[in-house]
Structure 1
Amino acid sequence: MNQLKKEDIKQEVFDLYDDYAHNKIGRRQFVERLSLYAAGSVTVGALLSFMSPNYRTTAEVPEDDVRVQSDYIMYDSPKGGGKIKGLLSLPKDTTTKVPGVIVVHENRGLNPYIEDVGRRTSLDGFISLAPDALTPLGGYPGNDDDGRTMQKKRDRNEMLEDFIAAYEYLKSHPNCNGKVGVVGFCFGGWISNMMAVKLDDLKAAVPFYGRQPNDEDAAKIKAPLLLQYADLDKRVNAGWEAYEKVLKANKIDYEAHFYPNVNHGFHNNTTPRYDKKAATLAWTRTIDFFKDKLI
């Protein structure tokens, strides 16, 4: 069988995967509906395998990269999950204090992709902390399907408190200069938006395709925002018009980018939703934004 290519997959399949990844349909429904797009050598199994994340060969900064020092730590989250595990990464042989960045996972816990993003952030000159909100349930289970199921069992506002506690931890870390921002993806995009609502001294927030706060909360934001959206992401983009209206009315510092012809999750290089051109540009903008606001 010829290897599947992204251009061979209909947009409806990407939309179907989005519904599955965000718990709108279960795995059985996903597989059943996926069968509608199987034909000839393109089997359901091939489609399922193609759409699933590949963590084996996609790390941009491997765990053993000598340029980065990464270790798991535990920090206190009194209002959230108690003790939370996170991956703390900083540039190797750092001798000066550097800015901090909280890296927030999607709706499936601290998987290898998010750990990689934490190391990438560190490689760009920051101390990063990527928490695992699944810690109270045993931590990321090793696969995204079970991770999504586990994360559904936690209250999202308690998880928000876990990431706020991570911010406080990182801000006072001896290797941090006290200036901290946040970047998050999907669920993490919502967390990033809400950290901007809750934290008056947050220095920068970069939500990737994240749900927007309600109007009352959005008006409280003081942190500069860099908002990254996927042009084909109708689900999340539906909230943008109202969000922008509040941002403008309250003179909140924001910059928004909509990347054409890409799907929700375009930064995640472990699935075919990944778009290298858009992801590279969005990440360059993210790092430039953090350097401007945190240094």
Structure 2
Amino acid sequence: MDNELPIHERVPHWVLAIAPLVVLAAVLALLVVTSPFGDLGSMADASTVDILWMLTIIGFLAGIVPVAIGMLWFPFIRALDYRLIHAFLALSAGVLAFIAFEMTEEVIDYGGELESTSVAVVAAVGGVAATFGIMYALSRWRQRTAATGAEKSGLHVAYLVAVALGLHSIGEGLAIGTAFVLGQGELVMLLVIGFVMHNIMEGPTVVAAVARDTASPPLHHFAIMGVLAGGPVILGGWIGSLADSALLAVIFYAIAIGAILQVLVELAELIRFDADTIVTRLNAVTFVAGVALMFVLEDVIVEGWILPG
């Protein structure tokens, strides 16, 4: 029966491609129409619990919701042949590389606010190196204990991607939490809209590694990975509202950079597992496309149009 077929074989491919964009447009329209964070004056006398609860809601909207929307592209990606899935993995690597570059700029900016340059350097280099080394060792241990000798699973790579993006998301939460406690409701609103547009690309970046596996993982894995990737926006919001610290920002961003560098290694190995070479013309094009896409979303649309100046 047709109902027993996978969704990517029952639904037209073009529908799978545009459906997440339709959901995204609906969420953004709802935020613009309702303007839920336009007036934070009533929060001036709010308790710490109330503030943390409000930041939890904001973080959910800015982090988990867009990642979940982006994951809706999984059936579309899964319908692609292996060569195109490899290209999509390369696009994901481009997205991650751009995020790492952006966070490097943040480390430099926040490090410049510290009185001691040596402290900033130690925090940044140590955070990157320690995180990369720990994640690399955990990945190798995971591969040794779970190796079947038949097929390399992309699920553990997808989890690593989710963790790396989650560490990056803490930085987004820091910005939201700081603006929130300063009572800048309009800025909070703009940040949420910007991060929703930015984070939608994290969804397909997470699930791209799973799309090449023979069988789709159970739905609870998608839910867990979505929370891992987007949920830390909430944690960052809490930290930003309670402690405005340049040193903490340097440490968190450095940790995220180290995690992303390790994930880039994992993505390269995932492609190399069943391909003759990692760097093909198509993979190079999609890698550059991933960088360019994030540049448009982050630097042109979010910072140029949504958050000018």
Q: TM-score, normalised by structure 2?
A: 0.24
TM-score (norm 1): 0.25
Higher helix residue share: 2
Larger strand fraction of residues: 1
Name which one, 1 or 2, has greater alpha-carbon Rg: 2
- The one of the two structures with greater contact order (alpha-carbon pairs below 8 A, sep at least 6) is 2
